[in-house]
Every structure is written in C-alpha cells, then in structure tokens.
Amino acid sequence: MIGVFGNKVRVPRIGLGIMGVSTIYGTVNDDESIKVLNHAIDTGYAFWDTANAYGVGHNESLLARVLKGRRNELFLCAKFGAVIREPKPEESGDFSKFISGVSGKPDYVRKYVEESLERLGVDYIDLYYMHRMDPSTPIEETVATMAELVKEEKMCYIGLFECSAWPIHVEIDGVLDTCCKLDITVVAYSPLDHGFMTGQIRSFDDLTEDDWHRKNPHFKPEHFENNLKLIDTSETMAKKYDCKPRQLGLAQLLSQDDSLIAIPGTEKSKYLENFAAGQVKLSDEDLKALRKLVDSANIQGDRY
C-alpha cells in the first residue's frame, strides 16, 4: 500500500518506528538490532522514524550503521526537542529519565539538527518533526527556523508531533479531516498501543523488570484483563482475512484516509510481518463492525 508524502514522494503507508531498538522495552543487542533493521529494508519498510531522545542519541548512532550504503532506500524521519543530560556510566534503561525538558528555541533547533545529522551520518533528513511543544517559545519562531533549515537543505519536510497543549482525539476533533483537506500527511505513532494490540503480552507478569511497559497504564494489572477483551474480540475477524489481529488493526487504521501513514515499531524480526497489513483489504461491512467495536471498547488506563 503506497502513499504520497508532501504530494511528491511515494512511500509505503506502513513505516517503522525505531525507538524499541534503544533499551526501552527491555535489554536489546545492537548486532541483533542491525540485523532486524536490514531485514526491515529488505521486507519493504522505507519510512523510518527516530528521535534524538531515543537512547540519548544511541538510536540515531545505531541507525547510522544501517544507513551506510542504504540511505537512498529510506525516507528518513527524525524528531527533536528533548533537552537531554548525559547519562552517568552506571546508568542505563528507560531514556526518559535523562530528559530534563523541551526546547524549541531557534538556537536549540539548529543545534539539534546538526547533532542528529552527525550521529546519523547523513547530509539531510527527509522529515524533521518537533517532538513536543515548548510552551516557553512561540511556535512561529520554531517553525520559522525549521523553514530556514529546509532552504539550507538540512531537511526536506517539517512536521509537528504531539502539537497541542491539550489532548487531541484526531478523529473526533476534526484534525484528521482538516489535514486531509490541506494535503497534510498524518503519521500515526504507536498504532498498536506500544505492543498491547499485538496480543503477544498476555499478563503483566510477562514483562521483565526493565521493560517500560510496566509504567504504561494500559498494561497495569488492574487494567490488563479488561483491555485484552478488545484484542480477543478482533481475533475472529482476523482469521476471516487470514491475518493477525495486529495486521487487522493497522489495516483498519489506514482505511480511514489515504493521507495516513502508520509507524509500528519492533525490535524483533518476526513482527516485521506487520508490513503485510498494507495488503489487507477490509469490506465496508467489516470496517463498520470494527468501528463499532472500537467505539464501544471500555479501554482503561491513561495513555501514559
């Protein structure tokens, strides 16, 4: 399933979130991650998403090892904004504890992009988003600086990530419709709820002590069993289409509009089969049934 980004660039509508290869869902091995990422390119993943915050720069440095010789096969997306302190030698694990704030100040934006370009080992980034809003800096100043960097060919496109001071429901609040009318691409991150919708994690006890999922409210013991009902209910329809529930969920998401790109992530090769969701064509009847199922689901726990 191919989409058009910025009315010019054709990219697969199933992209790849790279966060998981940098120690957030448990211990990872760099050499194994490199194998997974190369396998992802061979599978067809060409829209990749990273950030300066992920692994405190480790994510971008790791990605650089894959980009050598394969840069022209990828539409590379990176995010900025996190003010990061250097970890102490004995510190490891969830990178969020090393983030001290957010900045969209013009000098910071320039600093961020130069650091990311160096870590990634590239001359430009295809899509550069602001990761979180900086309430102390007018967004006009941040975006103006990003526009300057486009002219300087440091990046091709700009984007905003979590771009409101208030929670937004993209569908209900009309954001998706507006983006469609204005030919703005919407990149849907965590489309499988940080792995919850894969159905592979069946209890809180399945999670290792260093797994970030333990902090996610959807995975908390008091919510887990209830939230699993949505996944279990969707399995019957997934069998009808000879696909996995996670592929069904991605197909339902992409059916909402051609401007949507989903970026599920994984650190395991077996989950790269998510890419096949782009080939799942749901009937109108089943799309309505899925919409009814989602709207009636009593999902418990906050997003984070």
Residues with Cβ within 8 Å of residue 183, at least 6 apart in sequence: 7, 259
DSSP state at residue 155: E
> Cα-flanking dihedrals φ and ψ of residue 87, to 5°?
-65, 150
**Tokens of residue 97, six digits:** 């504890």
- Report how far residue 75's alpha carbon sits from residue 15's, in angstroms, rounded to the nearest whole number: 9
Scan for tokens 């990219």, then name that residue.
11
Task: Work out the angle at residue 43's Cα, subtended by the Cα atoms of residues 155 and 206, and round it to the nearest 5 degrees.
Answer: 95
173 φψ region: left (φ > 0), alpha (ψ -120 to 50), beta (else):
alpha
108 is catalytic: no
Scan for tokens 């790849």, then name that residue.
16
* β-pair type (82-84, 75-80): unpaired
- Report how far residue 26's alpha carbon sits from residue 93's, in angstroms, rounded to the nearest whole number: 8
- In sequence order, the β-bridge partners of residue 125 are 155
Q: Are 198 and 270 in contact (CB under 8 A)?
A: no
DSSP characters for 195-217?
TGGGS---SGGGS-TTBGGGGSG
DSSP SS3 for 281: coil
Scan for tokens 């370009």, then name that residue.
117
- Report how far residue 166's alpha carbon sits from residue 131's, in angstroms, rounded to the nearest whole number: 15
Catalytic residue among 25, 54, 108, 128: 54
Rg (C-alpha) for the chain, rounded Å, is: 19
Catalytic residues: 54
